[in-house]
Amino acid sequence: MAHFEKASSITEWLDQRLAITTVKKVMALEYWIPKNINFLWAMGMVLAFTFALLTISGIFLLMYYQPNVDTAFDSVNYTIMSEVGFGWLWRHIHGVAASVVFLVIYIHMFTGIYYGSYKKGREMIWLSGMLLFVVFSAEAFSGYMLPWGQMSYWAGMVITNLFEGFSPDIAGGIMNAPGLVEWIRGDYVPGQAFLSRFFMLHVLLLPLVIMGLIGLHFAALRIPHVNNQDGEEFDYQEAAKLYKEGKTKESKVIPFQPVFLSKDVFVLGVYLIFFFYLVFYHFNFAMDPVNFDPADGLKTPAHIYPEWYFLWSYEILRPFPKDPGLIAFGFAQVAFFLLPFLDKSDTVAPANRRGLFKYWFWIMIVDMIVLTVMGKLPPTGIWNHIGLVAAVVFIALFVALPWVTKNENRA
């Protein structure tokens, strides 16, 4: 057994047993962040905080929510909303955060794309981040089932039907999976088995996976370090040495705590004003009126559309016939994962200094916005045509990316 001296303070006692001083040094006091960054570098912490808000509000909702097809709707819309003290607060925080978290994820993602923070050693940061995006999507979808309203039921019906696969006459039916949809649902239609298992996924399995992935995402940052506004490569050890010698002005880095965190907290503060403004005064945008009708398996709502953050990929599915639509949709789901491998340029720099990639980036942003708007409009007439063009442009952008970026290496 190791030898322990009598400790003279609680800190020393803990330090002897858990090395808290070293942990604090490695994780915060001497975790170096480049100086040359802007407010967009605070989005990671904004996301972590929003996830904490979702977890805490979720715990309180969990105390009164009933995962039963007969009582789920009332347990949310009656018990939680009008009986439980401050139940409305948890529900509105949970609903607004579920929507806003995707807004911040998209900002975080597009920041990474704009500054080239997904390549040259940062691939694992990008891939773990994209995995987080996928699991967050599954988390959002499974949570959307729980109030068991009309939109819950029919979104559940439509999305699980995607797993039917291709039409049975394609390639002798090998791409068709009979029975898979019923297996996922545990019934012929979304019912009790479906609600219970999506409840389990939402409150246990998926949050566990998310927490693990957040750990991986943070760990992936340590070796390549976070990118900066110019994509500049510099010696972190040397910069850290300068800082520790007191030459903080000459050094290119700042410690995570307290310097970076103090700026981070400011951005977080601005964000939280916006967030709680939505929670208290504008929560309705996150509450679809159709979902205030209880689920009815014999009546489809006039229009079925997903929440705003899924509209772009929904619009890539919709304008095509079934089988090509599924292929296009599948491609849209993995396209962003491929980014580090489709980008053939060695340059890590903001998009506006990268030749053709500048145009690629802004066309991609505009196309995603067009897809999002079209996804909300009914699929008729001119809207259907614009949606089809935007979907084709999205696929073409990713197919063209290697050629768009290849020339950069020559210059």
Q: Which residues bind another protein (CB under 8 A)?
A: 154, 157-158, 161-162, 167, 182-189, 191, 193, 197, 297-304, 318, 320-323, 325, 378-380, 384
Say if residues 295 and 152 touch (Cβ distance below 8 Å).
yes
Q: To the nearest whole angstrom, how small is the minimum distance from the Cβ of residue 397 to another protein? A: 24
Given the complex with another protein, which of 105 and 157 has the nearer CB atom?
157
CB of 353 to another protein, least distance (A): 42
What is 201-214 written as a DSSP string?
IIIIIHHHHHHHHH
What span, in angstroms and rounded, lies between the C-alpha atoms of 308 and 81?
24
Q: Minimum CB separation from another protein for residue 298, in Å?
A: 5
Q: Quote the least distance from Cβ 319 to another protein, whole Å.
A: 9
Record the tokens describing residue 317, joined without a space: 């599915």
Nearer to another protein, 157 or 349 (CB): 157
Do 216 and 210 meet the contact criterion of CB atoms below 8 Å apart?
A: no
Rounded Cα distance between 1 and 263, Å, is 44
What's the sign of the alpha-carbon dihedral 106, 111, 113, 114?
Answer: positive
Shortest distance in whole angstroms from residue 168 CB to another protein: 9
What is the end-to-end Cα distance of the chain in Å, rounded? Answer: 63
Burial per residue of 235-264, b for 16 or more beta-carbon CB atoms within 10 angstroms, e otherwise: eeeebbebbeeeeeeebbbbbbbeebbebb
d(CA 391, CA 378): 16
The two tokens of residue 197 are 């298992």
Q: Which residues pair with 63 in a beta bridge?
A: none
d(CA 102, CA 312): 13
Query: In this complex, which beta carbon is closest to another protein, that of residue 106 or of residue 320?
Result: 320
Cβ 133 to another protein shortest distance, Å: 23
Q: What is the DSSP letter of 34?
A: E
Minimum gap (Å) between residue 187 Cβ and another protein: 5
